[in-house]
Amino acid sequence: MTVLAHFSDLHLDGSPERADRAGRVVSYLCALPGALDAVVITGDLAENGTAEEYAQLREVLKPLHDRFPVLMCPGNHDVTPVFAEHLAAPQSAAAHGGVQILLVDSSIPGEDDGLLSTSTLDWLDARLAAAPGTPAVVGFHHPPAALGIPFIDVIGLRNPAALATVLSRHPQVVAVLAGHAHAAVSTTFAGVPLLVAPGVVSTAALPWECASTWSYQDDWVSLMFHTHTPGGFTTHVRTISAR
Ligand SMILES: [Fe+2]
């Protein structure tokens, strides 16, 4: 069985409060008695995308890197060139636990919504074509489907149909992973599970929960565990204290 931990939207801004919330997730994962095949972080690691924020991220995430493979991609709050210089490659392919994990950059400089460029889609297509027999997970920041969160749905992925076309050629893709919504959401996209990780920094309010704010900072932080077996792809959500 392949086990992936998945969280998103840390939005580190130099403040101890946000570092503490991210640190709780790191501590929880590092204290697990069992093994994880990889940890996936789907964007908005920093609030403003500065070198100083990425330095704070490196420090907060270090225990995780010491124990597990950690894979990540930028979000709209990240600045890709700075992310690439100070944190990680913005696009990566790795195989862990028999699953190919492809992470790409869906951010557009200066914009909140997202796009998978032609070159990014071509790269995904080629990587998937090169390993047709290996189960694959594709991850990026912007959800390619509406989630029922109005503030997020208007700044999602601009070209989901182009991604769906690529995925239709590669039936070994078992799931699409995203962030951005600050909410643990499970739906489907192009016939595969779409799992949106909760936001470490805050939780998005649904329209029927709160009319006055788009998100709130609660006493909890959450993450997902995805498992893959020959029998299928399964997701668990874990919520831990933020204090
Ligand atoms: Fe975002």
pLDDT of residue 211 exceeding 80, the answer is no
pLDDT of residue 212 exceeding 90, the answer is no
Residues of the domain holding 101: 2-241
> pLDDT-based confidence at 192, cuts 50/70/90?
very high
Comparing C-alpha atoms, which of 5, 10, 4 is closest to residue 180?
A: 10
Please give the pLDDT value at position 210. Answer: 78
The Å distance, Cα 156 to ligand 1 centre, comes to 9
Ligand 1 (single-atom ion) residues, CB below 5 Å: 44, 75-76, 180
What distance in Å separates the CA atoms of residue 70 and residue 25, rounded to the nearest whole number? 13
The Å distance, Cα 116 to ligand 1 centre, comes to 15
The Å distance, Cα 26 to ligand 1 centre, comes to 20
pLDDT digits 0-9 by tens, 162-185: 999 999 999 999 999 999 999 999
Give the helix/strand (H/E) hosting 228.
strand 220-229
- Average pLDDT over all residues of the chain: 96
The Å distance, Cα 95 to ligand 1 centre, comes to 26
Task: With H, G, I as helix, E, B as strand and everything else as coil, classify residue 140.
Answer: coil
pLDDT digits 0-9 by tens, 107-158: 999 999 999 999 999 999 999 999 999 999 999 999 999 999 999 999 999 9
2-7: strand order across its sheet: 70-73, 38-42, 2-7, 220-229, 232-241
The Å distance, Cα 127 to ligand 1 centre, comes to 25
> pLDDT-based confidence at 76, cuts 50/70/90?
very high
> pLDDT-based confidence at 68, cuts 50/70/90?
very high
The Å distance, Cα 219 to ligand 1 centre, comes to 21
The Å distance, Cα 28 to ligand 1 centre, comes to 23
CATH code, domain with 8: 3.60.21.10
Domain count, the chain: 1
